[in-house]
Amino acid sequence: MTISDVEQSHALRLDGKHVSKAILAEVGQELATCWKGQPPKLVVLLVGNDPASEVYVSHKMKASQKLGMTSETRRLPATISEHELLDRLDSLNHDPDVHAILVQLPLPGHINSQRVLEAIDPRKDVDGFHPLNMGQLLTGIEPVALPCTPAGMVRLLDYYDLSVAGKHAVVVGRSNIVGKPISLMLLHRHATVTICHSRTPDLPHLLSQADVVVAAIGRPNYVQADWVKPGAVVLDVGINRMEDGSLCGDVEKAVVHRASAVTPV
């Protein structure tokens, strides 16, 4: 199915829960086949007590334990020095019983996140943020791991049989975590990709030409519904908490009346 085949009058809800179940089943089968009797061990380093990070790490622990993996969260104080954190990583890199390392972002302001990510053994880098893995993604070589959010978006398109080949994709956001990697992944799938950000002039005009919109700028309702091309597929990565406690994405909810397919927030 191509994106233009989806009827605009019936916006398709791209539900990630179905995709998640399929991925978990695949991983479970791979673990049973390749790791007989010795499940891999994941260690997550959680620095400080950021509420969102606590939730994300909890979900990761539950998923890994459900699959029969060995997983461990090592909580570190927000006051830990960068030097000490790097020492902890070096120890994990050389521990043969640890197969995967994840440093939960964001880190406290006094720690250089890029330096920390570079210190992870790229063979144990399950987030795919090490420069070697990012470089392999850039050149089209399959890295050890792909950044999970962009990889999930691509799997979502695959699950719903939405091809981006020959389509114009506009990515709003240029972070190393989402914007840049998803742009490369879409490019490898033969989409024509335009990367935009908060300083891009005439963003509404660019979005009006986009068959696929990826919003990952971290600003609530930044992309207005009437900027989006009728019939476009909208992948809204944003999760923003408003003053009243409600959640919203980076795209106005009214886009459901304009797009052909959208991700729920």
Catalytic residue chosen out of the listed positions 41, 60, 167, 180: 60
Catalytic residue among 121, 124, 125, 127: 127
Evaluate whether 48 touches 78 at the Cβ level (below 8 Å): yes
Annotated active-site residue 127? The verdict is yes
**What three-state secondary structure class fits 130?**
coil
Cα 187 from Cα 169, distance rounded (Å): 9
Assigned token pair, 219: 């600003």
3-state helix, strand, coil in the chain (%, to 5): 40, 20, 45
Contact status, residue 250 vs residue 223, Cβ threshold 8 Å: yes
Beta strands 261-262 and 233-236: pairing type?
parallel
SS3 184: helix
To the query of whether residue 244 is one of the catalytic residues in this protein, the response is no
Active site positions, annotated: 60, 104, 127
